[in-house]
Amino acid sequence: MRFDFTSPRKLIAWAETDIDKGFDLFLAWAQENITCSIEPGQSADETIMRFSSESLPEEIERCCHNASNHVRHAFDQATYSLMTVINSNFAGDAYFPWSTTPADMRGKLNRLGVPSDYQTLFAQFQPYNTGEAYEGGDNTLRDFAKVANPNKHRAVIAFNPAALIARMDVQLIPGVEHNGTIEVMSGPIPFGVDCDIASFRGVWGKSITTDFEIFPVFAGSQYLDREPIFDVLAYARSRALAVVDAFAEATSQLNGRR
């Protein structure tokens, strides 16, 4: 049997297009629709930095949604393609063995009917969480699979993109005495909601100017709520491509022995 993995490769290519488009759209939109302003606080010695934005445009959400779906499906389709070559009578559904531990992964592969010689193909991608009782694991890839799975089954945009203040530089006017404290909000902020992200107390007055960097994240995710969505999607896409390449090479070698 010859299987060229055309379908998962198409999904990976489509994902790349959506990631690039979503990233470009976000940069253009953020420049016009996200601001951080300096305003008086509730007391005489307090100055507030306020974050303001419009809701994230639907077109950007669509790109993130489609990319996550394409990547998630590519993992499963690559697994199915491999199984049809390993077992010409294979007629079931095949899913990439996302797992909690290496033992959990091996159990899923055994139930799927993957021969031990081929289980190492899956093991090299470590599709399970990092743990203390074993080596390896990939928390980023595993958490991506978790947020992408309900996305394709239950809701259009289940991963709830939010803004994260990645970098904020506070510049003080030279020659002005500055005493006091700065408190900065560290968690993700929903798009379309105005909120205070920093409080400056002390002798600050109007001597503060700021520069900031903001990007969307997968809000509510255990490991991804500090990573830019587009970086996570690009990483997951690269791992899906590596899986397809490895599985395609393995099936080519298997066909060559037949």
**Average pLDDT of span 147-153:** 65
Both tokens of residue 132? 């203390």
* Cα–Cα distance for residue pair 242/238, rounded to 1 Å: 6
- Integer-rounded Cα Rg, in Å, for the chain is 23
Selected residue with higher pLDDT from 81 and 2: 81
Among 17-26, 50-59, 64-73, 183-192, the minimum mean pLDDT is found in 183-192
**pLDDT by residue (tens digit) across 220-240?**
777 887 888 999 999 999 999
* Single pTM value for the model: 0.83
DSSP 170: E
| Domains in the chain: boundaries | 6-257
CB 3 within 8 A of CB 225: no
Amino acid at 177: E
**Average pLDDT of span 154-166:** 58
